[in-house]
Amino acid sequence: MATLSLTDEQVVQLVKQLAPRSKQRVLADLTAERDQWWQTAALEGERDLRRLAAERGSNWDAMDEAQREAFVDDLLHAP
């Protein structure tokens, strides 16, 4: 199988040449990939926040939204 090297701009131009239905499929595939990445990042982030809270003697799951925001704010502004 041959490998073709294209610039980002070349890929965009090729996609623009596709029929509308094919463009929709490309967009749907890219959107699904992005959504999967966000879901994975969110799950990993929440797991990390639970761990950090536990390390500091808190329970992430027992916190209400305001407490979680304050906890994250403290993490971000800690020396």
User: Based on the structure, what is the number of domains in the chain?
Assistant: 1
Task: With respect to residue 5, please indicate whether it lies within any of the assigned structural domains.
Answer: no
Considering the domain boundaries, does residue 55 fall inside one? yes
Query: Which residue reads 């929709």 in tokens?
Result: 24
42 falls within a domain = yes
Residue 2 located in a structural domain: no
The reported pLDDT for the residue numbered 79 is 80
Residue 56 belongs to a domain: yes
d(CA 46, CA 42): 6
Asked if pLDDT for residue 10 goes beyond 90, the answer is yes
> Virtual CA dihedral for 76, 78, 55, 61, nearest 10 degrees?
-40
Residue numbers of the domain that contains 57: 25-77
Q: Is pLDDT at 16 greater than 90 in this prediction?
A: yes
Q: Is residue 7 part of a domain?
A: no
pLDDT tens digits along 31-79: 999 999 999 999 999 999 999 999 999 999 999 999 999 999 999 998 8
